[in-house]
Amino acid sequence: MELAAADRAALRALWKKLSSNTGVYTTEALERTFAAFPATRTYFPHLDLSPGSAPLKAHGKKVADALTLAMAHLDDLPGALAALRNLHTHTLRVDPTSFQRLGHCLLVTLARHFPGDFSPAMQASLHKFLSRVAEALGSDYD
Ligand code: HEM
C-alpha cells in the first residue's frame, strides 16, 4: 500500500487542521479503543484509563506527537518509529491487532470531527498511513 503524492498531500492538509489539538483526537481514539476493545486495556494496568483522566490525556498527547513525527517522515516510517517499535514489540509485546484497532478508532474519531473532509479518498489515505504506522511499530515479530 504505497502512499502516493495525493495521499501525502491530503494527509498533511488534514494534520495541519488538527494542529495543536491533535492530542484531543488521539485521546478520544484511545477512549474509543479501550471501550470497544476492552482487551487493549490489559497493556495499561498501571494507568487510570477512565474517560477524561489526566494519564489518559497525557498518553493521548504522546501518541499524537508520535503520529506527527510519522507525518514528517512519510518516506521513512520504519526509521522514524524504530525506537517506538522496539518498545511496543520487545518490551510491551503489544498484539499487532491492537494497532489496527487503535487505527480504526482514530478513523472514527476524525470522521466524527471532520465530516466535511472525510471523503472516501481521505479515508483511504488515512487507512494507508495508519496501516504503515502499524507495520512500522510492530506488525511482525522477529
Ligand atoms: C507507550 C505511541 C499503539 C501500548 C507509547 C508511547 C508512545 C506511543 C509515543 C510513549 C513512549 C515513551 O514514553 O517513551 C504509539 C502509537 C501507536 C501506539 C503512535 C499507534 C498508532 C499502541 C497500542 C497499544 C500501546 C495499540 C496497546 C493496546 C502502549 C503502552 C505504553 C505505550 C502500554 C506505555 C505506557 C506507559 O507506561 O506510560 N506508545 N502507541 N500502544 N504504548 Fe503505544
State the DSSP string of 87-103: IIIIIS---HHHHHHHH
pLDDT of residue 83: 95
Q: Please say if the pLDDT value at position 141 is more than 60.
A: no
- pLDDT recorded at residue 74: 95
Give residue 132 CA to ligand 1 midpoint distance, Å: 16
pLDDT tens per residue across span 18-67: 988 999 999 999 999 999 999 999 999 999 999 999 999 999 999 999 99
Predicted structure pTM score: 0.95
Calculate how far, in angstroms, residue 68's C-alpha sits from the geometric centre of ligand 1.
14
CA of 44 relative to ligand 1 center, distance in Å = 9
* ipTM beyond cut 0.95: yes
Whether the per-residue pLDDT at 101 is higher than 80: the answer is yes
pLDDT tops 90 at residue 2: no
Cα 60 to ligand 1 centroid, rounded to whole Å: 9
Give the atom of ligand 1 at the shortest distance from the alpha carbon of 59.
38
C-alpha distance from residue 42 to each of 90, 97, 107, 126 (Å) = 16, 14, 22, 27
> Is 142's pLDDT higher than 80?
no
**51 Cα to the center of ligand 1, angstroms:** 17
Confidence of residue 140 (pLDDT cuts 50, 70, 90): low
- Residues framing ligand 1 (Cβ under 6 A): 40, 43-44, 62-63, 66-67, 84, 87-88, 92, 94, 98-99, 102, 133, 137
The Cα–Cα gap between 13 and 97 comes to 28
Q: In the prediction, which pLDDT does 139 show?
A: 66
Cβ of 142: how many Cβ atoms within 10 Å?
A: 4
Per-residue pLDDT tens over the stretch 108-131: 999 999 999 999 999 999 999 999
